Amino acid sequence: MRWARIVGRESLAVLVPAGVAVLGEPAFSWSVPAALVGCALLPLRHLWPPVAVLGTLAGLAGGLGWPPALVALYRLGRHHRSGPVLAAWLVLPVVAAVAPVFATQDLRWNQGVLVVGYVVVNAGAATVVGMLVGTRARLVESLAELARARDTALAARADAARAEERDRIGREIHDAVGHHITLIAVTAAALAASTREDDTRRAADELRVLAKRSLAEVRGALGLAGGPLPTPADPADTLAEVDALVAQWRDAGLSVELVDDHRAAGLCPQLGRAAYHVVQESLTNAARHAPGAAVRVEVGCAADELTVRIDNTAPDEPRDVVGRGGAGLAGLAERVGAAGGRLTAGPRPDGGFAVSARFPLEHAPAHA
């Protein structure tokens, strides 16, 4: 179907000018053949518009080349964007059409002006129309490309937003589930170490192994899952719950000292949740990577800054209760940054580990 349209269009572009040339009254014996040669070269206008224009010059000189010349000049105008280039190319057909008239006829100056004006208007009109059509086609294509680029950018932005949301939800699940699974593993390890009954010790060891395996599977699922996940955010996880959190870890056998001036109770929920998760993640990491270590949690609120610091001593034994951690500290740093704070974490000279979060209160978000 496409080839049929092309053949039909080119046939009209060649046969219609050729028919007009044949029906015209030739000024010279070579006028009709010259015009037909120009018509035969018209299909070249798509690849080489200047060649098609040059092919019509003889026909213009013979007086019958205007039909193919107009077609060729129209295509030349569509092809070239430069006005000076088009003006230079117009000189050739104008000279080819005007020169024989001045050479064969005795014209007064006003008649000569009319002849030149007629030729310039005809040639210029075809060229300008082609130039306008070409400009419009290029503008439409540019707008289409702009729309495609905009759609691509919007799709990429939406994908990035979805990926960011999945990462955020994954970190929420990692923090919440990882905390409780680690608590189970630590409790099981403490039970296995304190009981004298073999069955109880085996059950506690099996429970610790299952907790370790469950945490690994949770991390794997969060790393591979691409669909939407339910958000586990709990609005109750604020600084007011730090006492209960520390009590849980004490019951599990972790040696934790809490120093809290209780002046941060009225802070906004987002900042309170971020500070709570700093304590939660730090206690989880201490139990996981430093078994037997003493942990100190300090929560202080000054006039312009909330400070949360967790220190643990060196572990009694270099073992990992539930395996290596994931991206807990990285996610924690992002959470603290989202609340306007700054997180620092690193080893201490005595072999322990310290985590510190500072939240400027004047930059704290007003709501969750």
Domain boundary, last residue among 69, 86, 106: 106
- Angle, helix 2-23 to helix 66-79, in steps of 10 degrees: 140
Q: State both tokens at 186.
A: 């630590």
CA-CA distances (angstroms) from residue 312 to 104, 135, 284, 324, 335? 110, 72, 12, 18, 22
Q: What is the mean predicted confidence (pLDDT) over 195-204?
A: 75
Residue 304, amino acid: D
Examine the domain organization and report whether 272 and 345 are in the same domain. yes
**For the chain, percent of residues with pLDDT exceeding 70:** 77
Examine the domain organization and report whether 356 and 244 are in the same domain. yes
Please check whether residue 255 lies inside any domain of the structure.
Answer: yes
Question: Which range is least confidently modeled, 169-178, 201-210, 224-233, 283-292?
Answer: 224-233
Examine the domain organization and report whether 31 and 100 are in the same domain. yes
Domain boundary, last residue among 106, 132, 167: 106
Examine the domain organization and report whether 177 and 98 are in the same domain. no
Please check whether residue 118 lies inside any domain of the structure.
Answer: no
- What's residue 37's pLDDT? 76
- What's residue 322's pLDDT? 47
Domain with 285 in it? 157-363
Say which residue the tokens 């942990």 belong to.
Answer: 295
CA dihedral (199, 202, 204, 207) positive or negative = negative
Examine the domain organization and report whether 225 and 347 are in the same domain. yes
Examine the domain organization and report whether 91 and 164 are in the same domain. no
Q: How many domains does the chain have?
A: 2
The tens digit of pLDDT for each residue in 312-357 reads 998 876 555 444 444 568 878 888 888 889 999 999 999 899 999 9
Instruction: Using the predicted structure, report yes or no on whether residue 309 has a pLDDT greater than 90.
Output: yes
pLDDT band for position 265 (cuts 50, 70, 90): low
Q: What is the pTM of this model?
A: 0.45
Please check whether residue 297 lies inside any domain of the structure.
Answer: yes
Please check whether residue 13 lies inside any domain of the structure.
Answer: yes
Please check whether residue 83 lies inside any domain of the structure.
Answer: yes
Examine the domain organization and report whether 341 and 230 are in the same domain. yes
The tens digit of pLDDT for each residue in 134-153 reads 888 889 999 999 989 888 88
What is the domain-level CATH number for residue 218? 3.30.565.10
